[in-house]
Structure 1
Amino acid sequence: MTRPTIGIIGGTGWLGSAIARAMLKAGFVEPSQLILSSRSTTGLSGWPDVACTADNRELADRSDAIILSVRPDQFSTVEIGARGKLVISVMAGVPVATLAARSGSDRIVRAMPNAAAEIGKSYTPWFASDGAKAEDKELVRQLFATCGTTDEVFREADIDYLTGLSGSGPAFPALLAQAMMDHAVAKGLPRDIATRAAIAVVAGASQLLGAHYVSPEETVRAFLNYRGTTAAGLQGMIDGGFIAAVSAGLDAAEAAAVAMSRTG
């Protein structure tokens, strides 16, 4: 596949910058094939050949594919003309219809990477409009593979749901870690030890889920069947409403994403 020139509107923000760095590190694009727009005209450090402009319309004119990486509430101020070009949005809650109307393109992809793109561990689901071409989809697959793992979904509603689930990045694991830390401190442990212990569980030991290709269900079942201290802890969490609380949280996140889409 011939690599296109890719422009990132909001390219020096945390997500736009993470995507840019991932593409460059993987060799998906050369620095000369990347254009960023931002209020700052300073390109990415370490890649001095990356072009940077304060003019979104100039970026759109020079790019074959355009990534929109601005806050959803700022999108109304973004002026681009992208007719006939691939437009990839990583904004939460802005529907395909709005993206098409504002950009002038019918080749639209909505994607939802998360903060782990910064370390190449993002999960990025994406949805393509009817106007997106086969080569557009292949480019999107390869592009977001530089940030981690990726899946195409076939209903726009799935992106709204996954915005709340996987788009949360470290937020939900951080809440679990915080609850563990607070409990440990209440039991008398120093906060620095409580912090290291909780992070070791949430950010360290949890990587075994991916390393051993064992499903979460199998892991939980195995520990419950072992009938040890972990089984007692798991059962206490389940009996205390942990699963119901997670479901309520995901429902609330989905509802917020759907509401954003309706007003987007």
Structure 2
Amino acid sequence: MSTIGIIGGAGWLAGALLRPALAKSMVRAEDVILSSRRTAVAGFDAWPGIRTTSDNAELAAKSDIVILSVRPDDLSGVEADLSGKLVISVMARMPGSEISKRFGCDRLVRTMPNASAEFGQSFTPWHASPNVTSADKAFVASFFGASGIAREVPNEPDIDYFTGLTGSGFAFPALMARAMIEHAIENGVAPDLADVAVRQLMLGAGTYVSVSKENAAEIVKTFVDYGGTTSAGLTAMIERDSDGVVKAGLDAAWQRALGN
């Protein structure tokens, strides 16, 4: 088995990705090394075989696969020779060319998981550089598939777009949920009742959209055409340019991912 090192292993994203992979036996604890500035890494009590280190160079020397899971602004402080390794980046706003130049690696995969990985619900797009092997790709698909759906994308700029679209995880739907909860409270519904009602609505909506044979546009049309209370609500939102608001948010997130 290959040894997997995660630089930034104490971070929330590293844990959210690694725990599902361990739980589903996609990787073995004894094959994992985590680097962190902390003396201990929390969240892995069920897998005592995991090794830890505070030395990134040591991690790199002992690993066949290295996952970069640090904030982009902290990458300048990472010192390691990653030549000859499969390197996987889960960082936003960091082009593959910069990573390859800094660490001397030519087998690089850029990915963009989201916070739903912990629950096995992330959508994780990934893009491989030309020298990534078929075996490398199989590992990437298996590892990120443990925490949701993983899909290879043909162009690296796709990763920057998906950083805004799906890298947001549940944050954008949560914005709508917040407005719905506030509206319910403003109209006399008890806060705890409003909260549980909207939470369950979001759960049901996500499940329905994910399994329905209709796509999102068809679902909206079906309810608008029905002419009931939902139709009235949807029509009012559409007339106030709900699509434009969502697209403006995605544009802003995409531009930030591009470093603009």
TM range (shorter): over 0.9
Find the aligned partners of 2:249 and 2:222 in 1 and give their Cα distance.
26
1:33-76, CA deviations, whole angstroms, 9 ceiling, x for partnerless residues?
Answer: 11111122325211111111111111111111000111111111
Find the aligned partners of 2:253 and 2:103 in 1 and give their Cα distance.
27
- Matched letter for residue 36 of structure 1: L
The answer to whether the aligner puts 1:53 opposite 2:24 as a matched pair is no
SS in 2 for 1:15: helix
Partner of 1:90: 90
- Matched letter for residue 228 of structure 1: G
The answer to whether the aligner puts 1:24 opposite 2:15 as a matched pair is no
RMSD over aligned CA atoms reads: 1.3
Q: Quote the offset at 1:130 in angstroms.
A: 1.8
Find the aligned partners of 1:139 and 1:118 in 2 and give their Cα distance.
19
Contact persistence 1:36–1:51 (CA under 8 A): yes
Find the aligned partners of 1:50 and 1:185 in 2 and give their Cα distance.
47
TM-score (structure 2 length as normaliser): 0.95
SS in 2 for 1:259: coil
Find the aligned partners of 1:41 and 1:88 in 2 and give their Cα distance.
24
SS in 1 for 2:195: helix
Instruction: Please list, as runs of the form range in 1=range in 2, the aligned pairs for 1:168-179 lying within 5 A after superposition.
Output: 168-179=168-179
1:173-195, CA deviations, whole angstroms, 9 ceiling, x for partnerless residues?
Answer: 11010111111122122221221
The answer to whether the aligner puts 1:244 opposite 2:244 as a matched pair is yes
Q: Quote the offset at 1:217 in angstroms.
A: 1.8
Find the aligned partners of 1:206 and 1:150 in 2 and give their Cα distance.
18
The answer to whether the aligner puts 1:162 opposite 2:162 as a matched pair is yes
- Matched letter for residue 38 of structure 2: S
- Count of residue pairs the alignment pairs up: 258
Find the aligned partners of 2:100 and 2:24 in 1 and give their Cα distance.
30
SS in 1 for 2:167: helix
- Matched letter for residue 183 of structure 1: H
Instruction: Please list, as runs of the form range in 1=range in 2, the aligned pairs for 1:60-209 lying within 5 A after superposition.
Output: 60-209=60-209
SS in 2 for 1:135: helix
Would the alpha carbon gap of residues 65 and 213 (structure 1) be closer, same or farther in structure 2, given more than 3 Å must change? farther
- Matched letter for residue 141 of structure 1: A
- Matched letter for residue 155 of structure 2: R
Find the aligned partners of 1:213 and 1:58 in 2 and give their Cα distance.
50
Find the aligned partners of 2:40 and 2:212 in 1 and give their Cα distance.
42
- Matched letter for residue 20 of structure 1: L
Structure 1: state its 5+ residue gaps.
Answer: none
Partner of 2:231: 231
Find the aligned partners of 1:243 and 1:50 in 2 and give their Cα distance.
46
Partner of 1:254: 254
1:215-243, CA deviations, whole angstroms, 9 ceiling, x for partnerless residues?
Answer: 21221122112111111111111111110
The answer to whether the aligner puts 1:40 opposite 2:38 as a matched pair is yes
Report sequence identity in percent.
Answer: 48
Contact persistence 1:11–1:20 (CA under 8 A): no
Q: Quote the offset at 1:202 in angstroms.
A: 1.8
Find the aligned partners of 1:249 and 1:28 in 2 and give their Cα distance.
36
- Matched letter for residue 125 of structure 1: P
SS in 1 for 2:48: coil
Q: Quote the offset at 1:124 in angstroms.
A: 0.1
Structure 2: state its 5+ residue gaps.
Answer: none
Contact persistence 1:100–1:106 (CA under 8 A): yes
